[in-house]
Structure 1
Amino acid sequence: MKIRILLSLVLLFSFTLVSDSYAQSFYTGAIGVTQSNGGRTRIFSDNLTTRLFDRASVLVGVSSSAVFDYNQDQNGLVNAATVTNPLLSNFEVTSTINNSYSNLPPNVEVAINLYGWTNGSYILGKLRVKNNETTPINAVIGLEVIPQIDGAYGAEVVQHHLASNTTLINKTKWAGIRFFSTPQTALKSIQWVSGYGTDQLYYSWLTQNSFDAPLTAGVDGSVAILGSNAVNIAVGATVEFYFGISMGTDQASCLANMDLCFSQYTSVLPVELTSFNAKTIGNSVKLDWVTVTEINNRGFEIERKFADNWVVVGYVEGKGTTTLRQSYTFTDFVESHSTEKIVYRLKQLDYDGTYSYSNEVEVEFSPVPTHLELEQNFPNPFNPATSIRYSLPAEGFVTLKVYDAIGNEISTLFSENQNEGSHSINFNASEIPSGIYFYSISFNNQVKTNKMILIK
């Protein structure tokens, strides 16, 4: 038994060394970070020696039985790497993880980017969460943090600062965590124990919609779970989630450094979409959208969905990198002869090939016909009422009359000016006998007639 235990410890120690040997790091001159292949972010208060966080890692909760977490699911998909010439910051490391360790739901893929600036006491994190499931998911994205303030577990205080919506953890040093792209809505603080996390517990903590009272950790330290509101992610779509980690000698300096981190976030945000709208105009749908910042934005693919399948219907070139407000429009000419519900979304493309999807917008499309149309009444035969549908290619004066089998006029249903598009009217024949009748519409020197049968 002793030999087995010793062998297990040796293997575990060897695995840790191998895992750390492939991790990628940087030191800004004030704060350090190490990113592992498997999704662990480790934060240091100096040049990679004294830890602030033993681990910060992503959580993606879909249900009480489907939470993507570090210990049970995450595995390296693309190894951690140091970006040689960062475009957005002075330092950058990246990695990508998925659920291949467990192959349990949710089937998500998370690309991690960590940014640092020379002598800055903060780290900006970006998570790109992709839905690889076969159906859309409502994902609660959050973080799991194991503090190691001053390089040791235990005695730290975990609390939430409501005024700044920042989770603070402190002993001698102070560390802060703030969500930037979406508000933090939950903080669960617990004493660390072995095997503390299950999908059911993680999900309840992520979605508790409250912030725990300050917790002072015992000798084994604490665990902090930070949650946000759920976001719907379509099949194959990606959402971006930004957060900041800051450090200080006291609460004030920690929060001040977090504000500096937020300023960097606003400068690196690739494309900030402030509006996306759609409206029908005749036989087309006009889309318009507005951005307030763009970084490396190659452009937008416009995607349309009638039923289940998305198709690309157009492309609009982006403005590259700009902090000026930009307005875009696109007109989609729809070939259809029935009223349909149409859904649109934008696929924003960067120059490096990465992309993300906008929210979806929906319109009810009722195309304008190119000529006068008169449909068969329904039901037919009927008793005593039936519906008559017709479509006008333009605004104008229109008349609809009913005749008997020998041509006598029975009723004028209307004779008036009407708008273009599809219309319908109900005809009640309770006052006339059974028989064959004809209904005739006239518009702009055009006449169309159909037969209907009344059976009583």
Structure 2
Amino acid sequence: MKKTFLVFSFMVIGIFLLGLIYSDPYGSRTVTSSDNSVNPVVQQNDEIVKFVDDMNGANDTTALRIRGWKPKRGPLSGPAGTSPNWFQGNSTVFNAFEGPATGYVAANFNGVTGTNTIDLWLISPNVNGAAGDTISFYSRSPDASTFPDSIRVYWASNGDTVPGSGSFVELGKFKVSTAGWVESRYILPTAGATGRFAINYRVAGGGPSGLNSDFIGVDLIRLLGPAAAPVVCSYTWANQVSGTTALLYSVKTVSNLVGWAAGAGAVVRRTTDGGVTWGNGNPNPGVITGDIYNIEALDANTAYVTTSPGATFIYKTTNGGTTWVQVYTIAGGFINTIKMVSATNGYAFGDVLAGNWLMLKTTDGGSTWTSLATIAGTGDGRNNCLQITGNNMWFGTGQNTVLRSTNLGVNWTVATVTGITGQITGIQFNSATVGIVGGATMSKSLDGGATWALLAASGTGTISGIEGSGNDFWYVRGTTIYRSTDLGASWTLSHTQTAAQNDISLVTDANTCMVGWTAGATGTITKMTGNPVGINDPVSQIPSAYSLMQNYPNPFNPTTNITFALPTAGNVELKIYDITGKEVASLVNTYVNAGTHSVTFDAASYASGIYIYKITAGTFVDSKKMVLIK
């Protein structure tokens, strides 16, 4: 009798504890801790975002329906359980991939009763999908969950909203990650101007009494079009008349038409016609004192300069330089550079003052400045050596180090630049990871500035300014300007000025090419202008190396363009093979001049599948894959 009572007691306690575990209808069956760190917003890698729902708002079924989603039960679903078919993310299970901690949509084992099949559909709003577009989303289950939750992905080009109907084509299925958030991507096989895709949580033997279901989260759901066709640009340089012979330390490009330059003796020059004429940007002298080592501008009217004749100052104009107003000063300081990231927010960095780097911020358009952070240091900074991209900040110093922050100045690390023994006089990051710094030599980082390696550079003297975008970098060194089209692997001479240049400033023009100015000694100013080159026309600038580029578009139906570059003329073969290695087409088999060329492949008579294109040009051989989807 006692034994029976003890067994019964343990059963009651077990059921009670199990009830505590499963009492939350929106919870997980896995008793474990998950990594609750929130990820940074995902970069788009130049893909066209045709639809996005970051799930950062309300995600109950009512809110989802308001946004056009169709949360439904599929034909295989068992009776409804204690949780809705989709619900707001639960931060006690794990945090969202990005955004607020509960900013994701979830479903769990309580979606049905007993051991029934879970068949929950999250059908998207209408989207304009093209064949080859990509469905992308992030999903996960709790860390170390032993339950095999799974997701299927569907596409209905006609915009059907009935789960399991014949209109929905299954694109794939997978077991949900139990080791953090993972991105899944599926390619649309057909176009649909009002199509819908569906994320289907389906588990046989699910429910609170089953062995196969637990908890899933879905976040940052997107439909991505292929990256825009790469624009090939041809660049020209032209010396301009600045109207001054003063030494110019800094230049700022606002647009193809608007530019500012500044230098010794409080000289400021401004153009609003692309450099055809440069006017006086400080026609009423007396307010600005000292040499101007850095200039920043938002437009043709609003600009900022800094001088340091004993104390350090920031001045601002809102009327094109007609009048300047002192907006900041501190005794003993030396501000090296100012960067505005918007019309209201900006930063100014300078030499160490009283044991700490001088780091300032403004949130009112530069009218007032306050301390950004207290970061101990020694030494000095360098003019024009601050870059801000997103949440990333880099600041070059005179002690061959780069200060780096990934959260807009809240926290900082310091990296010694291998390969440079003195001052950092130029800095440029073309992405959050790839950057180049210059001084007496040049170094490159591939990890956001954490580590550096010596990089070969052309010319002699100090590298005093670096700019870039994509795979392109430019730098000024003495009287010469160099360009790289391969992230610094090789350099070619772009232009030679009559006097040494101190700074370079480039922006992306409306035609997607770069444009801007350099400025330097004796008032010299040079403008670079970029113009797109037709895709089927040879590029006027001879490439420095052989290359075979990824076809565009890819996937494709039925035509795609294949681009290749030749540094020297010669015989070229460009052939197409199927996945078995059988040659199916010969696109080029002739003598081709040096340059960049593009060929169109028409696959109208070929079956869907993976194809390989291969180029042979002298000793250069390369091949790539492409996907034909009909």
TM-score (norm 2): 0.22
TM-score (norm 1): 0.29
Q: Which has the higher helix share?
A: 1
Q: Which has the higher strand share?
A: 1
